[in-house]
Amino acid sequence: MELQKVIEQAVGGLGYELVDVETSPRARLLRVFIDCPKGVAIEDCTRVSNHLTRLFAVENIDYDRLEVSSPGLDRPLKKAADFTRYTGQEAQIRLRLAVNGQRNFKGVLAGVEDGRLRLECDGAMHVFELAQVDKARLVPKI
């Protein structure tokens, strides 16, 4: 089974959402980002880390270091559900291919419909295919 799926099942079973998994070359470092509606505390990270450590031993997943943390204030947006969940919040979007000579956009998320992201930038509404989004992150409000 693919590493991402193994981690997603385990994290989901503990009541958390898997936001992202980052690996270093040859998967020596595994970085796991989790979230939950009440927020993520150090105890949550410890719980998930201990569970994954035992799971990786059983599944013979080879790694040197495991890091578990919250996604932070600038949370990455990966799935359509993420864009829907954070509708009304400001985000930075980078597209795979430029649209009218522009790849980077910053604006307010206006929802997802039929696999298309709506983003309001400076009073103008932009619509992008989700498949064209390379990276997306929330803009932190401090």
- Provide the pLDDT for residue 105: 95
Helix (H) or strand (E) holding 137: strand 133-138
- The average pLDDT across 21-46 equals 90
Domains of the chain, first to last: 3-69 (3.30.300.70), 80-138 (2.30.30.100)
* DSSP letter string, 71-106: --TT-B--SHHHHHHTTTSEEEEEEEEEETTEEEEE
**Given CA atoms 132, 115, 90, 44 in this order, what sign does their dihedral have?**
negative
Q: What is the pLDDT of residue 53?
A: 96
**pLDDT above 90 (res 24):** no
pLDDT attached to residue 93: 96
- Tell me the mean pLDDT in the region 82-92: 94
In this prediction the pTM is 0.81
pLDDT at residue 1 tops 70: no
Task: Say how far apart CA 109 and CA 89 lie, in whole Å.
Answer: 6
- Give the span between the Cα atoms of 37 and 20, in whole angstroms: 16
Q: Do 71 and 19 contact (CB within 8 A), yes or no?
A: yes
Q: In this predicted model, what pLDDT tens digit does every residue of 92-129 receive, in sequence order?
A: 999 999 988 999 999 999 999 999 999 999 889 999 99
Question: What is the pLDDT at residue 141?
Answer: 85
Q: Answer yes or no: is pLDDT of 26 > 80.
A: no
C-alpha to C-alpha distance for 38 and 19, rounded to whole angstroms: 15
Q: Decide: 49 and 31 in contact? Cβ < 8 Å.
A: no
